[in-house]
């Protein structure tokens, strides 16, 4: 299936929206600029507002220039873009789209290959896919693929319903469910760090690891997404997808081969091995928070309940911390702590693997406190790995000092580190679904988070807002680890 010179038509539904502007057009441009796309491709934008092809091309040019902060000198790129305005609920317009695709197929010699990218609100996903089939747009001589954005459902039941709808028109191996964290360079590096280093793989289990911590903190609030977010919250927005995907990559067994199916099968096993949390246990394993007013990056910001399109009495969580247990041989007894939230101290995603102490540390005899070994995987904004070790303090007898081995990925690759969407779009064009989520992963993730959201929806959080904007979340998040004898390792970069 893999093809290093992909050619296809890409139909973007929601082409005038935020995602297309900030992520999709710049990513397509980066691929083109790097020569990963030949001239054999065309992009058709769909949205309601009336634009001519020329207006749309200008819009695409501006979007790319703003996002990449560079001027587009080569006009050939935008000439590949076409616009077809219509309301996706209007059946008749699909026929016109179909004839446009047939014409472009001839012009660009794309052999009937088609990607349908749904960059629109999820309530349209089912309608669009069923129209694509009923109006004959999926009946093509080449391959057809559906790229579908999050959220994939609101809970297991709605996700199942959505899945059944889209499966009427596309088979599982034609569906590319986006989780943009899977396109991040250092998230993809997790497997390489684990499976290509003899010094880590033998230690990667409950005999040597005491706990694993994953933090994904944001400084932004809900911006203009209050309407969506107030019905979602951090658990559905970040935990069900990105956080659980990182847990799966950290915990999975080595795949037999690096094929899509082998990797996905191992991830699914982890998600199925997550210890289910009953309604009664939610408070024991999970903590929720909502930001109040505070200071972020030196500026005063409003509380969540004062944001646009947010209920002034909202019960929605903007922060989640949790303790996950994986009930299998490798991980029995090792807590995986996760936390994510908006309006926190710093924008950062980091994984800290804390190793157990050596069985008898001779240096405990001194009064010096010895640090555990930590492996830190810096996902963003800095990309790299830090290994915390202990060494001898120079000139001192029997004294230790912490030392760090630091590798900075984006110091070396610099601005050439590809953006997540760029990689994922390219993967989709080449037919590589490894870094997209399979339905079984989506289902297992919802099954895990559903009991938690059920409890939170039905019990008013009387202490909300319970963390100040600009902080690291509510006190209960620290207590979650303290009761196990651990603490959150700081997330600021060691260079700071
Ligand atoms: N923005 C982001 O950073 C992220 C977005 N997502 C997901 O991506 C999807 C798109 O998000 P985003 O770009 O922010 O959304 P926007 O609201 O910015 O854009 C929605 C797009 O849909 C079009 N549209 C709306 N209704 C219709 C209709 N009936 N017929 C045809 N077109 C229509 C709008 O154009 P017009 O008004 O002209 O019709 C617009 O182009 C969502 O599922 C979101 O959850 C996921 C992760 C991040
Ligand atoms: O999917 C989402 O992710 C972003 C955070 O992504 P990142 O790449 O900036 O870490 C989050 O802001 C958003 O609420 C959520 O929908």
Q: What is the pLDDT of residue 442?
A: 98
Is the per-residue pLDDT at 347 higher than 50? yes
Exposed (0-12), middle (13-18) or buried (19+): which is 441, by Cβ within 10 Å?
buried
The model's pTM: 0.95
Q: What is the pLDDT of residue 494?
A: 47
Give the position of tokens 């001519």: 52
Q: What are the beta bridge partners of residue 377? A: 351, 385
Lowest mean per-residue pLDDT among 318-327, 392-401, 468-477:
392-401
As a whole-number percent, the residues of the chain with pLDDT over 90 amount to 87
CA separation for the pair 177, 435 (Å, rounded): 9
- Per the CB < 8 A criterion, the answer to whether 119 and 89 are in contact is no
Please state the ipTM of this predicted complex.
0.97
CA of 287 to the centre of ligand 2 (A): 20
Q: What is the pLDDT of residue 130?
A: 96
The domain tally of the chain equals 2
271 lines ligand 1 (CB under 6 A): no
Express each pLDDT in 165-217 by its tens digit: 999 999 999 999 999 999 999 999 999 999 999 999 999 999 999 999 999 99
Interhelix angle for 185-195 vs 244-251, to 10°?
20
218 lines ligand 2 (CB under 6 A): yes
CA of 462 to the centre of ligand 2 (A): 27
Express each pLDDT in 105-129 by its tens digit: 999 999 999 999 999 999 999 999 9
DSSP state of 168: T
Q: Which ligand is nearest to the CA of 229?
A: 2
147 lines ligand 1 (CB under 6 A): no
Mean pLDDT, rounded, for 224-231: 94
Are residues 191 and 296 both part of a single domain?
yes
Q: What is the pLDDT of residue 395?
A: 83
Helical H runs in 69-209?
92-108, 125-134, 156-167, 185-195
**Closest C-alpha residue for ligand 2 atom 16:** 237
CA separation for the pair 487, 457 (Å, rounded): 28
Residue 319, preceding peptide bond in cis (omega within 30° of 0): no
Q: What is the pLDDT of residue 392?
A: 86
Express each pLDDT in 33-57 by its tens digit: 999 998 999 999 999 999 999 999 9
Is the per-residue pLDDT at 2 higher than 60? no
**Selected catalytic residue, list 242, 378, 388, 438:** 242
The CA-based dihedral angle spanning residues 241, 243, 244, 245, taken in that order and rounded to the nearest 10 degrees: 80
3-state secondary structure of 363: helix
**Closest C-alpha residue for ligand 2 atom 15:** 237
**Nearest residue to 122 via CA among 171, 83, 178, 82:** 178
Are residues 389 and 267 both part of a single domain?
yes
Interhelix angle for 260-273 vs 244-251, to 10°?
110
Are residues 225 and 266 both part of a single domain?
yes
In this structure, is residue 427 part of a structural domain? no
Lowest mean per-residue pLDDT among 267-276, 344-353, 411-420:
411-420
Are residues 254 and 401 both part of a single domain?
yes
Is the per-residue pLDDT at 493 higher than 60? no
Tokens of 26: 């710049």
237 lines ligand 2 (CB under 6 A): yes
User: Of 101, 124, 148, which marks where a domain is finished?
Assistant: 148
Are residues 245 and 129 both part of a single domain?
no
Bridge-based pairing state of the strands 8-13 and 114-118: parallel
Question: What number of residues does the chain have?
Answer: 496
Q: What is the pLDDT of residue 398?
A: 75
Mean pLDDT, rounded, for 291-314: 97
The contacts of residue 146 (CB under 8 Å, 6+ apart) are 115, 116, 118, 129, 166, 169, 170, 174, 175, 176
Confidence of residue 409 (pLDDT cuts 50, 70, 90): confident
Are residues 261 and 371 both part of a single domain?
yes
306 lines ligand 1 (CB under 6 A): no
**Closest C-alpha residue for ligand 2 atom 9:** 218
Express each pLDDT in 378-389 by its tens digit: 999 999 999 999
Its domain, for residue 342, covers 180-417+438-481
3-state secondary structure of 67: helix
- Per the CB < 8 A criterion, the answer to whether 132 and 138 are in contact is yes
In this structure, is residue 74 part of a structural domain? yes
> Would you list which residues are annotated within the binding site for NADP(+)?
14-21, 48, 87-88, 150
Are residues 337 and 463 both part of a single domain?
yes
**Closest C-alpha residue for ligand 1 atom 33:** 47
Tokens of 177: 């469910």
The contacts of residue 217 (CB under 8 Å, 6+ apart) are 339, 340, 341, 344, 345, 346, 347, 348, 349, 472, 491
The number of the ligand 2 atom at minimal distance from the alpha carbon of 216 is 10
| 245: phi then psi, degrees, rounded to nearest 5 | -65, -40
Region label for 111, one of left (φ > 0), alpha (ψ between -120 and 50) or beta (otherwise): left
| 305: phi then psi, degrees, rounded to nearest 5 | -65, -15
In this structure, is residue 156 part of a structural domain? no
Is the per-residue pLDDT at 415 higher than 80? no
Interhelix angle for 156-167 vs 125-134, to 10°?
10
In this structure, is residue 342 part of a structural domain? yes
Are residues 86 and 230 both part of a single domain?
no
Are residues 232 and 334 both part of a single domain?
yes
Q: What is the pLDDT of residue 414?
A: 53
154 catalytic? Reply is no
Lowest mean per-residue pLDDT among 61-70, 340-349, 366-375:
366-375
3-state secondary structure of 98: helix
Side-chain-facing half-sphere of 63: CA atoms under 13 Å: 25
Confidence of residue 400 (pLDDT cuts 50, 70, 90): confident
CA of 230 to the centre of ligand 1 (A): 17
Are residues 132 and 40 both part of a single domain?
yes
Q: What is the pLDDT of residue 280?
A: 98
Lowest mean per-residue pLDDT among 148-152, 157-161, 443-447:
148-152
| 322: phi then psi, degrees, rounded to nearest 5 | -150, 160
Q: What is the pLDDT of residue 496?
A: 42
CA of 217 to the centre of ligand 1 (A): 24
In this structure, is residue 163 part of a structural domain? no
Q: What is the pLDDT of residue 367?
A: 66
Bridge-based pairing state of the strands 175-177 and 144-148: parallel
User: Of 148, 165, 197, which marks where a domain is finished?
Assistant: 148
Check which CATH number belongs to the domain holding 79 and give it: 3.40.50.720
The number of the ligand 1 atom at minimal distance from the alpha carbon of 16 is 41
**Nearest residue to 112 via CA among 139, 133, 135:** 139
3-state secondary structure of 26: helix
19 lines ligand 1 (CB under 6 A): yes
Q: What is the pLDDT of residue 411?
A: 76
Are residues 116 and 214 both part of a single domain?
no
CA separation for the pair 60, 21 (Å, rounded): 7
Exposed (0-12), middle (13-18) or buried (19+): which is 359, by Cβ within 10 Å?
exposed
Is the per-residue pLDDT at 3 higher than 90? no
């Amino acid at each position: 299936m893999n093809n290093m010179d992909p050619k296809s038509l890409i139909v973007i539904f929601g082409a005038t929206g935020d995602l297309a502007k900030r992520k999709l057009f710049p990513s397509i441009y980066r691929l083109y600029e790097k020569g990963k796309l030949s001239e054999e491709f065309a992009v058709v934008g769909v949205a309601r507002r009336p634009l001519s092809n020329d207006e749309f091309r200008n819009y695409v040019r501006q979007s790319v220039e703003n996002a990449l902060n560079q001027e587009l000198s080569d006009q050939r790129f935008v000439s590949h873009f076409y616009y077809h305005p219509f309301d996706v609920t209007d059946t008749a317009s699909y026929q016109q789209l179909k004839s446009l695709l047939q014409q472009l197929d001839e012009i660009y010699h794309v052999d009937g290959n088609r990607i349908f990218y749904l960059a629109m609100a999820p309530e349209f996903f089912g309608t669009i896919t069923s129209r694509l089939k009923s109006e004959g747009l999926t009946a093509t001589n080449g391959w057809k693929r559906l790229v579908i954005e999050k959220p994939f459902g609101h809970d297991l039941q709605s996700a199942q319903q959505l899945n059944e709808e889209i499966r009427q028109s596309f088979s599982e191996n034609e569906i590319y469910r986006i989780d943009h964290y899977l396109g991040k360079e250092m998230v993809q590096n997790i497997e390489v760090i684990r499976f290509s280093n003899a010094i880590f793989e033998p230690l990667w289990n409950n005999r040597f690891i005491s706990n694993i911590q994953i933090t994904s903190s944001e400084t932004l609030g809900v911006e203009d997404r209050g309407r969506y977010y107030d019905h979602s919250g951090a658990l559905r927005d970040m935990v069900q997808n990105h956080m659980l995907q990182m847990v799966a990559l950290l915990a999975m067994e080595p795949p037999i081969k690096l094929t899509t199916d082998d990797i996905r099968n191992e991830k699914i096993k982890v998600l199925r091995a997550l210890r289910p949390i009953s309604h009664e246990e939610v408070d024991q394993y999970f903590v929720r928070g909502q930001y109040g007013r505070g200071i972020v990056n030196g500026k005063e910001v409003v509380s969540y309940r004062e944001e646009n399109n947010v209920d002034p009495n909202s019960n929605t969580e903007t922060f989640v911390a949790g303790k996950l247990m994986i009930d299998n041989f490798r991980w029995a007894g090792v807590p995986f702590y996760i936390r994510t939230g908006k309006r926190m101290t710093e924008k950062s995603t980091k994984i800290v693997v804390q190793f157990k102490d050596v069985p008898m540390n001779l240096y405990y005899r001194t009064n010096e406190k010895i640090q555990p070994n930590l492996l830190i995987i810096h996902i963003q904004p800095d990309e790299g790995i830090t290994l915390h070790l202990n060494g001898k303090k120079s000139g001192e007898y029997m004294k230790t000092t912490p030392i760090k081995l630091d590798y900075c990925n984006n110091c070396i690759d610099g601005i050439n580190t590809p953006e997540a969407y760029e990689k994922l779009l390219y993967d989709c064009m080449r037919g590589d679904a490894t870094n997209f989520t399979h339905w079984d992963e989506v289902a297992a993730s919802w099954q895990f988070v559903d009991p938690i959201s059920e409890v939170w929806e039905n019990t008013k959080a009387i202490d909300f807002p319970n963390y100040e904007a600009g902080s690291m979340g509510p006190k209960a998040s620290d207590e979650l680890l303290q009761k196990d004898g651990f603490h959150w390792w700081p997330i600021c970069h060691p260079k700071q």
